Structure 1
Amino acid sequence: MAVTPVVLALSRSGESVAHRVADLLGAPVHGRAGRVDRADAWFDNALDHARDLFAAGHPVVGVCASGILIRAVAPLLSDKRAEPPVLSVSDDGAVVVPLLGGHRGANRLAARIADGLGARAAVTTAGDLALGVALDAPPPGYVLENPEAAKDVMARLLAGEGAQVTGDAPWLADLPRGDGPVVACSAAPVEAELVFRPQVAVLGLGASRDCPVDEMAALVDRVLNEAGIAPGAVAAVASLDLKGDEPAILAVARRLGRPLRLFDAAALERESPRCANRSDVVLAEIGTQGVAENAALAVAGADATLAVAKQKTAHATAALALAPAPLVDLPGRARGRLSVVGIGPGQASWRTPEVSRLLAEADTLVGYGLYIDLLGPLAAGKERHDFPLGGEEDRCRHALELAGQGNNVALVCSGDAGIYAMGALVFELMDRTDKGVSDAARRVEVVCSPGVSALQAAAARAGAPLGHDFCAISLSDLLTPREDIVKRLHAAAHGDFVIAFYNPVSKRRRTLLTEARDILLDHRPADTPVLLASSLGRPEEEIRYRRLDQLDVDEVDMLTVVLVGSSQSRLARLGEGPRMFTPRGYARKVGL
């Protein structure tokens, strides 16, 4: 999914312009709370919000002073080839300034906005100004094979050399001609200083289960060589939806850096009349007379030709179709993706950039409603599937089935999704043969991204209580037998671990925390420090310290993490207040 631009409205003076820009781009407006009257989502701090959007990969268009956006994203700048565009539009809509990502779409966005507003696009990149074109930003349907060479070629052209342009590259029509650098646009292998590839080829692939990756790779190379097509001219890899998780096919798509497009058997069968190879055996087996040729033609379009008919090895088949013009919109569906993300305990600054990016890329959000609400503007404009507290299995199954339909889904968890959250349940459902999920859901890509866990957040607020060996124990006996929990409590107490207690109490569960305290008192001092951390990262956050023998269950609720120190943990009495830490043994090392 292409990440949608976001338009920022910071003041009433620029609010109407922000909405005009949003209409031009089909983008949402995020408004500063209390400063504008109408928006699709709201934020409180402009710098933090612009930074979050940029980190998530959203193109950012701010109707505001350029300096606000520059200060917001400056700490994150590292790779101009990967960073999203950032543009500033004046409050009166007279000037559009592409600040970053000029050759990653910012200049095109600026021109589009300027045309719509009747404004001036203040483009400053040398190539656009002097030559009327950015060599490293070809139009949709083309890719630059060697972007690292663009800077040198552009410098030579700016110095007065003319280019030797070969092939059909209409956007380069005004480039000065001469006997300087060779700039080629070709689907065939070619030698040139700068090489553009029209996206006209589609690889159709089929495979038996667990086809060797190197076998498929060799077959693909053979097909491309026979067709005289460079790998960079491949627009997509295509196959039957039942092969959406086939490692050999996925490896080809990754190696080429191209999307995988999938079709059901009925859609592929509609292509059979134009195919060179048709099989009744395959038809009876999977519902279509062929896979490789059919899939290639399905993506390449009605006017495509079959450049290489099906070739096969022991476990793989491949075919190549050529479209008459570069492909921009690709038919079929993507392999579904489920991103299992932990957003941290609460505050946005604890959310990792990778999690923000996965959330931005997702078209659908699934999760406990409160957790999705914590995303604030990042959830705006996305399809939401809110679930109440509890019903975790229904939540995970729903997310997997949505991804199985080809959607890009984010399953939103608090803390870290793999620590007492939904991560393990997702894989359990995929692994089950009974009461699991559909075959389509089992074939989705699952991406797990780490988050700041509650125990990490609590430890950071306290100081460094996890400085030595520690463990986490959930005191919920809803899924784990009580006797197993007690056994783990005794083991942790005997091992003198620092212990983070998750799910310490609920309205009905009140006794296990008291029992845990009593077990621990048999193994560590009564004055062992205990941290009670509630509502971490939220406005109502509360940090309290207690002695182990004074730990009272009535001070603890469902939003509290209880961190019990080991026999070596202590509180440092500092001017700013107590800080909890567990020494690792450095004092012994230096003889103290």
Structure 2
Amino acid sequence: MSEPRPAIVVLSQTHLQLARRLVGLVDAELHGLRGRVGTADVLFDSTARHVGDLFRSGRPIIGVMASGALIRLLAPQLTDKHNEPPVLSVSQDGSSIVPLLGGHHGANDLARLIADGIGGHAAITTAGDLQFGIALDAPPQGYVLINPQAAKPVMAALIGGETAKLSGANDWLEQSTIAFSDNGSVVLTTTALATVPRENELVFAPRVLCLGIGCERGAPAEEVIALAEETLAQAGLTAKALTGVFSIDLKADETAIHAVAGHFGVPARFFDAGRLEQEADRLENPSDIVFAEVGCHGVAEGAALAAAGADGDLVVAKRKSRRATCAVAKALQPVAATLPGKARGTLYIVGIGPGSDGWRSPEVSDMIGRSTDLVGYSLYLDLVAGLSHGKARHDFDLGKEEARVRHAMELAGEGRTVSLVCSGDAGIYAMATLAFELLDKGRTGRDADGGLSDAAGRVEISVSPGISALQAAAARTGAPLGHDFCTISLSDLLTPWPDIERRVRAAAEGDFVIAFYNPVSRRRRTQLAFAKEELLKHRPGDTPVVLATNLGREGENVRIVPLASLNVDDVDMLTVVIAGSSQSRTVRTGDGREWVYTPRGYAAKEGSVLDGKEAAE
């Protein structure tokens, strides 16, 4: 499970250079105060509200500001030290890095990393780190403290001179400077067994248990979770020692498998049948029936053993429920940070709006930030360059839509987290449709009928909206979409021109406000002229038409012209055209600016200003 990216908070352009160095050091996202900082991944208006939101969401915070200022900003949020994220203050000259909160949750490590990178001093103040070189309430990756509430008195006793008795192998504890003795008053236990800690005892669970799961397609999640819980309980094992849930790659998109992983708070990983079959000699319950079905003699036992490695042992043989199987293997050492097997890939299909930071949603920024790979048209990837540090970039030329979508899905099929970057909204004349179209072709292989590989067809997909070109153009000019509207693409590359003609005539007759996408190209100059003439049959020549080019980017140009004066030569491929209905109007404000709006249609009803919902009621 991916950890949230740190947020570097900077309040002044003067300190932006230092903040950008920190972004590169810790793979963070840059958050800047609007009006004081020119460019950032995220711009905010209220420092107190924004920092509070970051803290409540569990995001690590690195503030390039005085410690006192950051403390005062967060004071109202401080409740539970066990659940607070790392919070650090970096002095504005970079000389001091102070972990303020969450020292044992990563803040101390971040402080050391930053200090090494910029030549500053990490002001570590937590007693355990200073005296013993470790923090008992923040064990390293691979261990979980079962009873964190007991850590404070145990640490106090050790700092006060008491000795500790070590129960169970634990390299991390053995390498510390804690004083150990066979009759120590404090007990530090490491075990994968379910146990109730005694007074003055800390129990650490090593992440050595590998849970193998097999199940029928569509098996109920609650059944598989219950089987896993019963299997661990009957073996006397603690779920805290689980390192992951493992299965065959054919189950990478199986809801129940991911439900089990989510229930225990561990990752899910998958092996192909060939890798599982390598464990055939170690299985206690090999099955020819399973081999005939999926190509290996056991899924639950095989996956558990494959995850535990050659030195691991099967500690719970296959157990069954009505539609699932379960087994547990134990690794010799806590499983490394990089788990064996392949993760289910993730494809984010994101709309970045017109491209400016201010018009990109926080969700989209977060998805791009969590990705390992970015795929898209080169211009679109350039527009999110501030979020692309440390990510593989896959550039495609304009017009290579299917190639880029297929590439993104196949990358995700390899277990990566991929953002397919689209301008505007990803679902409006964009790549989301093409992704689902490829899925709908079936999983018959890339070279058969244009379908996807099996792995690419099993990835997790999320679509995040962006501000569409028609919304941006409307916002720049007022409210032309205030009543019924439609969108029509004038490109005949994918839609036959007779179909486009029919839609234009119907929309013109229906008196819709119309947003025209792809109005012209180098070779297409007649379609927009046809639309103009068709509209003039049904609405006045002074009907306002919005021409919006390069919205939200350098070179933005927004014009309002009468329909009768619309000139095709004033429109290019980067222009969105919004033609008003017969009811659309223009109005000038006191500063001389012209706006377009379309009445909501209720003015005739005794001057009512109720909104649509209230009027319906």
- Whether the TM-score (by the shorter chain) exceeds 0.5 is yes
1: CA distance, partners of 2:193 / 2:602: 64
Task: Determine if the alignment matches structure 1 residue 417 to structure 2 residue 426.
Answer: yes
How do 1:183-198 and structure 2 match up within 5 A?
Answer: 187-189=192-194, 197-198=205-206
Cα shift at 1:86: 5.1
Secondary structure class of the residue paired with 1:531: strand
How do 1:381-396 and structure 2 match up within 5 A?
Answer: 381-396=390-405
2: CA distance, partners of 1:311 / 1:581: 67
**Alpha-carbon deviations, 1:164-194, whole Å to 9, x = none?**
999879769979xxxxxx9997655556799
Find 1:431's aligned residue among 440, 443, 449. Answer: 440
- Distance change in 2, residues 1:133/1:467 (3 Å): farther
Partner in structure 2 of residue 565 of structure 1: 580
Find 1:226's aligned residue among 205, 224, 234. Answer: 234
Find 1:275's aligned residue among 277, 283, 295. Answer: 283
Find 1:579's aligned residue among 587, 595, 617. Answer: 595
Find 1:368's aligned residue among 353, 377, 385. Answer: 377
- Distance change in 2, residues 1:22/1:507 (3 Å): closer
Find 2:354's aligned residue among 333, 345, 357. Answer: 345
How do 1:155-554 and structure 2 match up within 5 A?
Answer: 187-189=192-194, 197-329=205-337, 330-433=339-442, 434-554=449-569
1: CA distance, partners of 2:595 / 2:145: 55
Q: Please give the TM-score of this superposition, normalised by the length of structure 1.
A: 0.81
- Distance change in 2, residues 1:15/1:536 (3 Å): closer
- Amino acid in the other structure paired with 1:97: V
Cα shift at 1:573: 0.8
**Alpha-carbon deviations, 1:214-269, whole Å to 9, x = none?**
33233222212222234343221101112111222122223323211111122222
**Equivalent residues of 1:344, 1:414 under 8 A apart:** yes
- Distance change in 2, residues 1:280/1:591 (3 Å): closer
**Equivalent residues of 2:351, 2:364 under 8 A apart:** yes
Q: Which moved more, 1:497-506 or 1:182-191?
A: 182-191
- Distance change in 2, residues 1:344/1:508 (3 Å): same
Partner in structure 1 of residue 109 of structure 2: 108
- Amino acid in the other structure paired with 2:335: L
Cα shift at 1:368: 0.6
**Equivalent residues of 1:28, 1:381 under 8 A apart:** no
Secondary structure class of the residue paired with 2:581: coil
- Amino acid in the other structure paired with 2:356: Q
Partner in structure 1 of residue 612 of structure 2: none
Partner in structure 1 of residue 182 of structure 2: none
**Alpha-carbon deviations, 1:114-154, whole Å to 9, x = none?**
467775323477997999977874432234679xx96x986
**Equivalent residues of 2:142, 2:335 under 8 A apart:** yes
**Alpha-carbon deviations, 1:23-64, whole Å to 9, x = none?**
9x686999x9xxxxxxxxxxx9566347599989996768x6
Find 1:48's aligned residue among 31, 35, 40. Answer: 40
1: CA distance, partners of 2:598 / 2:464: 28
Secondary structure class of the residue paired with 1:538: coil
* Long gaps (5+) in structure 1: 33-43, 176-181
Secondary structure class of the residue paired with 2:541: coil
2: CA distance, partners of 1:100 / 1:510: 62
2: CA distance, partners of 1:337 / 1:105: 26
- Distance change in 2, residues 1:68/1:531 (3 Å): farther
- Amino acid in the other structure paired with 1:278: P
1: CA distance, partners of 2:557 / 2:126: 51
- Distance change in 2, residues 1:581/1:437 (3 Å): same
Secondary structure class of the residue paired with 1:587: coil
- Amino acid in the other structure paired with 1:108: D
2: CA distance, partners of 1:195 / 1:567: 75
1: CA distance, partners of 2:522 / 2:101: 52
**Alpha-carbon deviations, 1:298-356, whole Å to 9, x = none?**
22233333221111234321111223443342111111111111111120121111111
**Alpha-carbon deviations, 1:90-135, whole Å to 9, x = none?**
64x6421236654542222113444677753234779979999778
2: CA distance, partners of 1:276 / 1:403: 34
Q: Calculate percent identity across the aligned residue pairs.
A: 52
- Distance change in 2, residues 1:224/1:173 (3 Å): farther
- Amino acid in the other structure paired with 2:401: E
- Distance change in 2, residues 1:15/1:342 (3 Å): closer
Q: Which moved more, 1:246-255 or 1:535-544?
A: 246-255
Secondary structure class of the residue paired with 1:48: coil
Secondary structure class of the residue paired with 2:455: helix
- Amino acid in the other structure paired with 1:587: A
2: CA distance, partners of 1:536 / 1:353: 19
Secondary structure class of the residue paired with 2:412: helix
Find 2:90's aligned residue among 88, 91, 103. Answer: 88
Q: Please give the TM-score of this superposition, normalised by the length of structure 2.
A: 0.78
- Amino acid in the other structure paired with 2:40: D
- Distance change in 2, residues 1:589/1:22 (3 Å): closer
**Equivalent residues of 1:87, 1:96 under 8 A apart:** yes
1: CA distance, partners of 2:300 / 2:146: 26
2: CA distance, partners of 1:385 / 1:590: 58
Pairs aligned (count)? 566
- Amino acid in the other structure paired with 1:245: D
**Equivalent residues of 1:69, 1:88 under 8 A apart:** no
**Equivalent residues of 1:87, 1:100 under 8 A apart:** no
- Distance change in 2, residues 1:2/1:513 (3 Å): same
Cα shift at 1:5: 6.8
Q: Which moved more, 1:154-163 or 1:340-349?
A: 154-163
**Equivalent residues of 1:373, 1:379 under 8 A apart:** no
Cα shift at 1:297: 1.8
Q: Which moved more, 1:321-330 or 1:163-172?
A: 163-172
Cα shift at 1:474: 1.1
* Long gaps (5+) in structure 2: 45-49, 180-186, 443-448, 609-617
2: CA distance, partners of 1:399 / 1:484: 31
1: CA distance, partners of 2:111 / 2:571: 54
1: CA distance, partners of 2:86 / 2:547: 41
Partner in structure 1 of residue 613 of structure 2: none
Cα shift at 1:68: 13
**Alpha-carbon deviations, 1:462-487, whole Å to 9, x = none?**
12222222221111111011121122
Cα shift at 1:210: 2.6
- Distance change in 2, residues 1:96/1:579 (3 Å): same
Secondary structure class of the residue paired with 2:40: helix
2: CA distance, partners of 1:560 / 1:132: 62
Cα shift at 1:512: 1.6
2: CA distance, partners of 1:211 / 1:281: 19
1: CA distance, partners of 2:165 / 2:475: 59
Secondary structure class of the residue paired with 2:607: coil
2: CA distance, partners of 1:259 / 1:165: 33
Partner in structure 2 of residue 40 of structure 1: none
What is the RMSD of the two structures over their aligned residues, measured on CA atoms? 4.6
**Equivalent residues of 2:86, 2:99 under 8 A apart:** no
Partner in structure 2 of residue 556 of structure 1: 571
Secondary structure class of the residue paired with 1:439: coil
